[in-house]
Amino acid sequence: MANSRNNRRGRRKIVRTVLIYISAIIAVIFFIFPIYWLVATSLKTRAQAFSTPPLFVWEPTFRNFIDIFLKRQTEIEAITGQELELATGAETFFYNSFVVTFSSIAIATVIGVLAAYSFSRYKPAGTNTLMFFILSTRMLPAIVVAIPIYFFYRSLGLYNTYIGLILLYTMFNLPFAVWMMKSFFDEVPRDIEQAALVDGSNPVKVFYKIALPQVLVGLGATIGFLIINVWNEFLFALLLTERATRTVPVMIAGTRGEVGINWGLIAAIETLYILPALVLIFVLQRFLLRGMTFGTVRGAK
């Protein structure tokens, strides 16, 4: 009796495990497939990319990746003499994206972390009002301020400059940085910082030796969030840049082939463009895992 019940329970456990695995695999396929398709397309020739039914076995070509960076004059250009916006010389755009993203995130993170810590610890008069005010800058749809900012930038000479884009993205990201980091700093037990004060650290040391290490997980998550914001930003990059400062998202949208859209080429650019994001996610994953056990060193109270 007992044996058969054990067997039944064991079998039910196996079935459940198998079901869990199957649903996990389906979920993974669901999320991975678009990325697979993107990479696959980037390795196909134009004809292969358009074939029906879709090709799952083919001889991969790296032509698209070479074409992104090598300037080729097209036949149409040769005849008309008119320069087309081609997906060539992509390194400039990648460089622009890196410069703009890195600079604006560095500034937004430093200012945001310091502001968040001040709000969280020192609670200056009107903290709630100020925090709401900071948040309220995110409440307008970007498109509403697009035209004013365009004219504003034109007249200030910030149009088509790195500094213009960097300032704009910093401003857009600060509310996120302040709000996210404040909630992480709020979670650091005050007793830990007070213990450090009594142990002989002044407030500046308490900040970078005690408080900051506690929120590294949150900092990683915040930076990841900000990078995705800036890295993917399209609207303002389109409005406020020309060829010299153009970022990759705008360049992708502007990519035209000689005849119609060259999906292979676009897929190649996009594959390269999502690579840093993928790497970032894998780096941050470790932080996120540690985030689950974050803040467990606490007393009985």
Q: How far is the CB of 293 from other proteins (least distance, A)?
A: 7
Q: How far apart are CA 110 and CA 201, in angstroms?
A: 22
Could you tell me the maximum CA-CA distance found in the chain, to the nearest angstrom? 89
Q: How far is the CB of 209 from other proteins (least distance, A)?
A: 9
Question: Between 252 and 291, how does the x/- string for binding to other proteins read (CB under 8 A)?
Answer: ----------------------------------------
Identify residues 188-247 at the interface with other proteins (CB under 8 A): 189, 191-192, 194-202, 205, 210, 213-214, 216
Q: Which amino acid is at 261?
A: I
Confirm or reject binding of residue 293 to other proteins (CB under 8 A): yes
Burial level of 44, CB count in 10 A (0-12/13-18/19+)? buried
Q: How far apart are CA 123 and CA 115, in angstroms?
A: 11
Tokens of 168: 């704009």
- Asked whether 164 and 100 are in contact (CB, 8 A), the reply is no
66 or 197: whose CB is closer to other proteins?
197
DSSP state of 52: S
Confirm or reject binding of residue 292 to other proteins (CB under 8 A): no
3 or 202: whose CB is closer to other proteins?
202
Polymer length of the chain: 301
276 or 295: whose CB is closer to other proteins?
295
Instruction: Give how far the C-alpha of residue 115 lies from the chain's centroid of Cα atoms, to the nearest Å.
Output: 22
34 or 200: whose CB is closer to other proteins?
200
List residues near other proteins by CB under 8 A: 189, 191-192, 194-202, 205, 210, 213-214, 216, 293, 295-301
